[in-house]
Structure 1
Amino acid sequence: MSTQPDAARFAHIRDWVFDLDNTLYPHHSNLFAQVDVNMTAYVQALLSLPHDEARKLQKDLYRDYGTTLAGLMARYKIDPDDFLTKAHDIDYSGLVPDPDLGAAIKALPGRKFIFTNGDRGHAERTATQLGILEHFEDIFDIVAAELTPKPDRKPYDAFVALHKIVGSNAAMFEDIARNLTVPKALGMTTVLIVPNNFEPTFSEVWERDPDHSDAVDFVTDDLGAFLRSLAPTFS
């Protein structure tokens, strides 16, 4: 794992795959924190639990099933559309547009994708607020993944097959290390996005994934700067 970009390692990349939350926008924006609050509220209302018990259960489901949604579907047979609508009912106005990131993504050669455990609507609203939506060829969301979340192998295989991606010609950017395990096995170059100054913020212990460091080729706390450092390779 390296904190220094090595442009030569990306010279052959033609498919660029980006997670959404806490990847295409910085952790300190706390946009996903709103989703997190909504998920706790959903669990609380569904099961008539006190807030603290609902939050603990939500985090247990996330840890055990990959997403809160997957856990709720497995244990309580909830309507996924209802959950996704309520979880992503958030205010995007506080997310600061990032034209520099947009320019850096646009400058990358080849195709760019968003691959998220959220839904398409949330991804589109987020990318629109950031001013970067137009640079992506497609969004592969949790619905396209048939509600099976990363890090399960199934959605990666579906994504790769759909877009005819050759792993050795692709790079993936993620804020959760375990979600890079399958991309690494597929031959992708992997980049872990961490909070500013490499300090954890609201992430839970299991979201830091120290046991999955072997899946990470590079780590950065500034996606835009990392991508801009690759530009000379493509000029």
Structure 2
Amino acid sequence: MTPAQNTARPFSHIDTWVFDLDNTLYPHHVNLWQQVDKRIGEYIANYLKVNADEARRIQKDYYRRYGTSMRGMMSLHGVSADDYLAYVHQIDHSPLEPNPAMGTAIAKLPGRKLILTNGSTDHAAKVLERLGIGSHFEAVFDIIAAELEPKPAPQTYQRFLDVHGVDPKTSAMFEDLARNLVVPHQLGMTTVLVVPDGSKNVVREAWELEGRDAAHVDHVTDDLTGFLAMLHGRLSFPPPPL
């Protein structure tokens, strides 16, 4: 839980805290996203009438090129976003357990807390309910609010900033994909990469785990709750409002 760079941006000026959802607010090793990943493959196979292996290849190719497999399917095959999202998010959220320690750590952060996700608000609501931390967030900015343009598209971040009146220079962004921190860092945000706990097995593509030493990554942690608690201990934050 140390800065990735010697010149890492600090947190003393931060008044807005922006969090990704999946694999950020819950541990990677829960592998909840693996369920979504499987559903995406099934959707592509059924829609394009291809076998599972070919669907997998298409899925991962579009994910890397377009930011989400959905965007690739929309752009190249005319898929309906509503149908796609409804299908791929039909998953079992029960592996998620309440995390009151994280809730306390987030509640103590001074200022606003927002979620910026490539998922849907319905999925986000279920995740936050299972974790028991939804009340700590002001709003969820999802793929629909982003007009179906996923991170890391620059216009998505700008749209988020404009809609919620966020000043990037006094904001911090927490993400599990290093590539999704490039634009936030360029905009002036303090960036935190949330990586898997090395002692647990995770289901991720190799490229998804890259970027810990990238110049646009200010801080790296494998324990978000502990990282936030560390901030409380090191910085003089005013008490949260009652």
Which interval holds the TM-score relative to the shorter structure?
Answer: over 0.9
State the match for 1:122 in structure 2: 123
State the match for 1:210 in structure 2: 211
Letter matched to residue 118 of structure 2? N
- Give the aligned length: 234
Q: Is the 8 A contact 2:175 2:193 kept in 1?
A: yes
State the match for 2:160 in structure 1: 159
Q: Distance in 2 between matches of 1:175 and 1:200?
A: 16
Q: 1:69 to 1:212 in 2, by over 3 A?
A: farther
Question: 1:198 deviation in Å?
Answer: 7.9
Paired-residue identity, %: 50
Tell me, what secondary structure is at the counterpart of 1:40?
Answer: helix
1:61 equivalent in alignment to 2:62: yes
State the match for 1:143 in structure 2: 144
Q: Which runs of 5+ in 1 are unaligned?
A: none
Deviations 1:148-173 (A, max 9, x none): 00000011001111111111110000
1:181 equivalent in alignment to 2:191: no
Tell me, what secondary structure is at the counterpart of 1:22?
Answer: coil
1:222 equivalent in alignment to 2:207: no
Deviations 1:78-111 (A, max 9, x none): 1100000001000111111101000000000000
Q: 1:200 to 1:151 in 2, by over 3 A?
A: farther
Q: Distance in 1 between matches of 2:31 and 2:217?
A: 24
Q: 1:188 to 1:75 in 2, by over 3 A?
A: same
State the match for 1:102 in structure 2: 103
Q: Distance in 2 between matches of 1:96 and 1:208?
A: 24
Letter matched to residue 124 of structure 1? A
Question: 1:185 deviation in Å?
Answer: 0.6
Letter matched to residue 224 of structure 2? L
Question: 1:3 deviation in Å?
Answer: 5.6
Q: Distance in 2 between matches of 1:217 and 1:199?
A: 24
Larger proportion of helix: 1
Aligned ranges 1:6-155 → 2 under 5 Å: 9-155=10-156
Question: 1:64 deviation in Å?
Answer: 1.0
Q: Is the 8 A contact 2:211 2:217 kept in 1?
A: no
Q: Which runs of 5+ in 2 are unaligned?
A: none
Deviations 1:9-63 (A, max 9, x none): 2121110000000000000011111100000000011112111111111001101
Q: Distance in 2 between matches of 1:111 and 1:51?
A: 43
Question: 1:8 deviation in Å?
Answer: 9.0
Q: Which moved more, 1:193-202 or 1:64-73?
A: 193-202
Tell me, what secondary structure is at the counterpart of 1:44?
Answer: helix
Question: 1:192 deviation in Å?
Answer: 0.1
Q: 1:211 to 1:155 in 2, by over 3 A?
A: same
Question: 1:201 deviation in Å?
Answer: 2.8
Tell me, what secondary structure is at the counterpart of 2:198?
Answer: helix
Letter matched to residue 119 of structure 2? G
Q: 1:212 to 1:57 in 2, by over 3 A?
A: farther
TM-score using structure 1 length: 0.94
